[in-house]
Amino acid sequence: MTRLLEGKRAFVTGAARGIGEATARRFCEEGAGVVLTDLDGGAVEGAAAALRAAGHDAHGEALDVTEATSVERVLEGAADRLGGLDIAVANAGVLSLGSIDELTLAELERTLRVNVVGTFATLKHAAPHLRAAGGGVLLCTASQAGVHGYPEMSAYCASKFALVGLVESLAQELAPDGIRVCAVAPGVTETEMYRQLVRDRARLWGVDEAQADERIRETVPIHRTATPEDVANAFVYLASSQAGYVSGVALVLDGGELSG
């Protein structure tokens, strides 16, 4: 059976663990060569080594997405290693929770720096490589919190709402180059960031972590969190020719939770 991404060349940020690692793994399973990047260089090389051990074309590289010159350099290296690029996934991100009274401007700036500027830099510096390949797909990880606002999540929501607008704008701008631009907008997903969310919610709600976890899960109609593989499968779809007429959208994976 033909694999969905056979022969494609992909670049994924925030790929040491969680959604990024699962996305890189699913891309490999569908036939792509992948360069995985992450701020944690040791962990991302470990993730790439595990994929190579399974017979996949995978390479790990340390990257701080807030350093635009590094993003450009690492993308150049990835394109040289793979012989070009067809897909880029800007997945690296951070979470900040706190009321407007608690949240500092430094925390807001860091959240925007990583989530928005880092994503923009990744898409900006990947686009020329996709043009050189005759087209491709630019993807990013938005969030359900980029579609609906939530209390004590103003910085994070602002950053993820920005990504939805970025996708809608770039999809129109880059369409003449044969480049589609989309986002996946997950709801609560079983990652380290979710465990941080549970800890922060427990603190803000004055309950223990088990109670916070239960309260969060109760908001999801299908009564479970997403897995990183659920999100990765959405990225596979958007990156593939099956989504060839899909661009400018944020594909929401929220288990049926339709409102904030």
pLDDT digits (tens, 9 = 90+) for 81-135: 999 999 999 999 999 889 999 999 999 999 999 999 999 999 999 999 999 999 9
Q: What is residue 233's predicted lDDT score, i.e. its pLDDT?
A: 98
- Please check whether residues 37 and 166 belong to one and the same domain: yes
Task: Report how far residue 32's alpha carbon sits from residue 24's, in angstroms, rounded to the nearest whole number.
Answer: 9
- Please check whether residues 97 and 208 belong to one and the same domain: no
Tens of pLDDT, residue by residue over 19-33, are: 999 999 999 999 999
Q: Pick the catalytic residue: 156, 194, 237, 245?
A: 156
- Please check whether residues 127 and 240 belong to one and the same domain: yes
Residue 189 structure tokens? 């997903």
Q: What is residue 91's predicted lDDT score, i.e. its pLDDT?
A: 98
CB 216 within 8 A of CB 188: yes
- pLDDT category at 259 given cuts 50, 70, 90 is very low
**Continuous segment of H or E residues that includes residue 237:** helix 228-239
How many domains does the chain contain in total? 2
Q: What is residue 120's predicted lDDT score, i.e. its pLDDT?
A: 98
Q: What average pLDDT does this structure show over 197-216?
A: 86
Q: What is residue 260's predicted lDDT score, i.e. its pLDDT?
A: 43
CB 10 within 8 A of CB 136: no
Task: Report how far residue 203's alpha carbon sits from residue 169's, in angstroms, rounded to the nearest whole number.
Answer: 37
Look at residue 57 and tell me whether its pLDDT is greater than 90: yes
Note whether residue 124 is domain-resident: yes
Q: Is position 194 annotated as part of the catalytic site?
A: no
Q: What is residue 215's predicted lDDT score, i.e. its pLDDT?
A: 85
Q: What is residue 216's predicted lDDT score, i.e. its pLDDT?
A: 82
Share of the chain above pLDDT 90, in %: 80
Note whether residue 135 is domain-resident: yes
Note whether residue 178 is domain-resident: yes
- Please check whether residues 97 and 201 belong to one and the same domain: no
Give 184's contacts (C-beta < 8 A, 6+ positions apart): 139, 140, 141, 142, 231, 234, 235, 238, 250, 251, 253
Question: CATH number of the domain that 90 lies in?
Answer: 3.40.50.720
- Please check whether residues 150 and 203 belong to one and the same domain: no
Q: What is residue 258's predicted lDDT score, i.e. its pLDDT?
A: 61
Note whether residue 117 is domain-resident: yes
- Please check whether residues 206 and 166 belong to one and the same domain: no
Task: Report how far residue 251's alpha carbon sits from residue 232's, in angstroms, rounded to the nearest whole number.
Answer: 12
Share of the chain above pLDDT 70, in %: 99
Distance between start and end Cα atoms, the chain: 41
Residue 9 structure tokens? 């060349």
- Please check whether residues 87 and 134 belong to one and the same domain: yes
- Please check whether residues 199 and 88 belong to one and the same domain: no
Look at residue 75 and tell me whether its pLDDT is greater than 80: yes
Q: What average pLDDT does this structure show over 183-196?
A: 88
CB 181 within 8 A of CB 170: yes
DSSP state letter for 216: H
CB 90 within 8 A of CB 118: yes
Name the residue range of residue 216's domain: 188-225
Q: What average pLDDT does this structure show over 30-47?
A: 98
Q: Name residue, tokens 């990947």.
A: 126
Task: Report how far residue 62's alpha carbon sits from residue 78's, in angstroms, rounded to the nearest whole number.
Answer: 12
